[in-house]
Each structure stands twice: as C-alpha cells, then as structure tokens.
Amino acid sequence: MYFLGIDISTTSSKALLIDGQGEITGVASTPHTIQSPYPLWSEQDPQEWWQAITDSIRKVIAQTNVDSASIAAIGLTGQMHGLVLLDEAGEVLRSAILWNDQRTQAQCDQIHQQIGKQAFLQITGNLSLTGFTASKILWVREHEPEVFKRVKHILLPKDYIRYRLSGGFAMDKAGGSGTVLFDLAARDWSNELLEDLQIDLAWLPSTFEGPKFTGVVSDSAAGATGLKPGTPIVAGGGDQAAQAVGVGAVEPGIVGLTVGTSGVVFAPTSSALIEPEGRLHAFCHVVPGVWHFMGVMLSAAGSLQWYRDKLAHEMDFDTLLEEAKSAPVGSEGLQFLPYLSGERTPYPDPLARAGWIGLAARHGRAHMTRALLEGVSYAFRDIFSLIQESGLREIHQVRVSGGGMKNAFWRQMLSSVLGNDLVTVNTTEGAAFGAAILAGVGAGNWGDVPSACQAAIKITGTTVPDEREHEIYQQAYPIYKALYPALRPSFRMMNDLTEKTF
C-alpha cells in the first residue's frame, strides 16, 4: 500500500510516494515559471501547474515501478493564499494571483475600514494583508469587472489541481483560513464577512479537515496522470501546515522551526488564539480540532546567503561559520539586525533595514559573521516571545528543519538563544511528505495524525542550550530588542532620501 503526496509550490509541482510505514519510496518534481507583468505583480498560469503535476506523477510512478492500483489515497498541499477564478464551465478566467503579489494594499485598507480592523482581526485571527486571498478578490472586482461578473468558483492553487483530478470543488480548513474569509473559531466561512464584502458563498467550496476524503480520481484525470480511477483524495492542507505534519508539529507544545531563506515558526494551539495586534498569523491546522500560530521572518538563512555572496564570496559556508567560532559569544557587543527585505514578524514593516550596530576597531570578519547568526537567532526569539505572550505558554520541544539548521554551530547557538532543546528529524521532504501522511490517515493506515507522525517520524538528534551561552544571550537580547524601535524613524528617513535620490 502506498500514499501519494502532491505539492503545488511556487517554483515546482512535486509528487512523492510513501509506503505503509511512512518510508519515502520516490520523489519527482517539475518546475513552474512565474510572471510579473507589472511591478509588484506575481502570477502563474494554472494550466502550467496541471501539466507539471501530471508529469511529476507519471515520473514518480515510473521511477518506483509502483502499480498505480496500490496507491490507496492522495493528499494535496501547496502554496497558500493564491487566487484562482473559474467560470460556470470550470474554465480559468485569468492567471492566478499568487501569495507574494503586492498589488492590493488599497483593498486591504478598504477591508479594514469597512469591517473595522479589530473586528476583522477577531473574526479571522489576522489582519488583511496583501498576500492573503480576500483583497485579491476585491482587486479583480474593481479592476477587471468583465472577469469578475463571470466568476462562479474561487479556489486556491492546490484546489484547482483537486478539481482537475476529481472534477469536484473542495478546500481544506487550513487553506480556507488562509484566505482570511474564515471565522477562525468556527473553522468555516464567515457569513458576516462574505455579506459585508459582497462575496457570494456559492462561489466558495465546502471545507474539510485535512485527512477527510473530498473526492476520487476521475477517468479523464487517470488517463492524464497514470493514476487509477476512483483513487480517493483527502483534503490535505496549505504548505506550512503540511510541512508541520512532515516534521511532527501536530500538537500543542511541539513547535516547528524552519530556517530557509526566510524563517518560519509554526506553533500548534488547542484553541483559536489570536495575537491582539495581529502580529502573528492564526490559522486552522490540518489536524482536526487544532489551530496554530505562525510567525515569519523574511531574511533568515537569506541573511547569511547575502553576506557570503556580497562580502565573503571567496569562502564556502562551512569555512565562514568555522571562522565565526573564534569570536566570543555575544560578538563582543556587536549586534546585527536581519531586516534585509524589511520584516514581517513581529514588525510588519517593509521599510525596516538591516545593519551591524556597535562596530569597533577590535571587530573583524569572525565577529561580523557571528553577530549575523546571533541576530537571526534573536529574531526567532522575537517570534517565540510573541507566541508565548499570546497564550501558548509551554513549549516542550522545537523541531528544526531547513538548510540553516544543518550546521551544528548555528543549531547550538539558536538553542542557547531560545533556551529550548532543538531536535532534528529523519524527514526532509516537508510539505509533500505531510500531504502523503494525511492521505495515509484518511485511508485508515494510521488512526490519526499524531499517531501517524509518531510512527513515521524519528528524532535523529537533540541540541540542548549551553547554560553559559544562554546567560550571555539573556543579557544581549534586550539590547537587540531595543534597536528596532530606536531606529524605526531613521529607517523612514532613509527611505525618503532614497526615493528623492533615485
């Protein structure tokens, strides 16, 4: 018995097969292109996703030599917040507007003015941001009325693939909450918001918990993909929630932390907690009856990548970090703010800027490298502090993933900054693996999502805080925390000067 995980990410469509023990037997991926016809726009053609995922499914079946009849269920995941519009015949009306599209600030402001910022936050658990789906719908209504009057179905990217696979319309509750048209506590569409924003409920699909079946593979989709007709498809979930399943962050107290180009902290909660100022995202988890907080920093390992590429291009990363060990803990007072691309959590500020603060003649490259790693680690602590202040008091275990956490030195530093044990696990395929796990739960191979994770995910290592380092970081962190508020007015003046100069 096998389970297929499908991941429609921004850059590629991935198909991953696992067996009944949760072991990965094959992975295949096909790339996408992104279009940016105007500044701030980011779009993709949904037909390209379909072509890419049919290729990937056929590749993984061929590479593993698995009989498609032995694939017991399929799970879906993918990029969140994107807008796919279909007409009455199920045809795509325009290119999908993606999560990283930034054209809708005016519509976000309109939503807050119309609903009330705090009222919207209390219903959805989030503020209306340009990345989310709701403002994209309003933008199409305002700027493309001829398209809008033909809308009959509103989907997320992975749910368009669900439609192509099964002919049916459905959405998982994690993805639905990411549209910010959900009543977070009720785990379903908010009739109040839809009525106020004049969005027809009939356009939105029914929503399902992650492991629940939503349909089966149609005859036509079977012909295109090589799958068996009638293969069940579970709801699945958005990429971050499926990634959390992939590392076992599926119950309160176990937190997922990813150090990629950006950094993500994913913290399951037992109720629909809301950060009072909306500085954390609050969504439904793919696990029935579980929600989560999510904080995102924009330049995590991306800060190190920038530093190495721009200032130490002759060195590889291992050599650069080995040299950083020669600098003392706390970098002799040197601090680094990692806001190379602005920031998202806890400061939703596109004008925030990066920099070293406290440079003295005694500092060298080793100090600058170590300070950068410490600055990124402090930024993660900012997110952890916000999560704990918002109601999740106990964090028992932090499960880490991403390229940045492959380095033992940085992993030890982050553990000491946070004051938490960090554990690594045996899974590296993230969201697609999580989607396959959800398919296995739906098919009855495992009783529920936590027991599936216990069976399939193994801890491969544990890093514990160094007491001496932790004490020093306890003294250094308040200095870091005070820097952004002090520098915020300067960031704005810098931006104004840049606009005048260029």
User: Using the 8-state DSSP alphabet, how is residue 445 labeled?
Assistant: S
Ordered alpha helix ranges (H), 88-212: 105-115, 117-124, 133-143, 145-148, 157-166, 173-177, 191-197
CA atoms of 484 and 480, how far apart (whole Å): 8
> Which residues sit opposite 357 in a β-bridge?
335
239 is catalytic: yes
Which is catalytic among the residues 239, 318, 382, 496?
239
Cis-peptide into 276, omega within 30 deg: no
Whose tokens are 């072509």? That residue is 51
Q: Which two tokens mark 387?
A: 């999560």
> Letter for the amino acid at 84?
V
Q: Are 242 and 77 in contact (CB under 8 A)?
A: yes
- List, as one string, the DSSP characters of 107-121: HHHHHHHHH-HHHHH
Report helix, strand or coil for 215: strand
Q: Which of 157, 163, 105 is nearest to 134 (CA)?
A: 105
> Which residues sit opposite 356 in a β-bridge?
336
Q: Which two tokens mark 460?
A: 């491969």
SS (H, E, C) 62-84: HHHCCCHHHEEEEEEEECCCCEE
Mark 36-60 as b/e (b = at least 16 C-beta within 10 Å). Answer: eeeeebbbbbbebbbebbbbbbbbb
Q: Which two tokens mark 132?
A: 């989310």
CA atoms of 261 and 304, how far apart (whole Å): 9
Q: Are 3 and 432 in contact (CB under 8 A)?
A: no
CB-CB neighbours of 283 under 10 Å: 29
For residues 305, 309, 310 and 311, what is the CA-based torsion angle, rounded to 10 degrees?
90
Backbone angles phi, psi at 168, to 5 degrees: -110, 165
User: Using the 8-state DSSP alphabet, how is residue 47 labeled?
Assistant: H
Q: Are 430 and 401 in contact (CB under 8 A)?
A: yes
The C-alpha R_g of the chain, in whole angstroms, comes to 23
Report helix, strand or coil for 256: strand
Report helix, strand or coil for 481: helix
CA atoms of 185 and 440, how far apart (whole Å): 27
CB-CB neighbours of 115 under 10 Å: 20
Residues in contact with 47: Cβ distance below 8 Å, sequence separation at least 6, in sequence order: 92
- Residues serving a catalytic function are 239
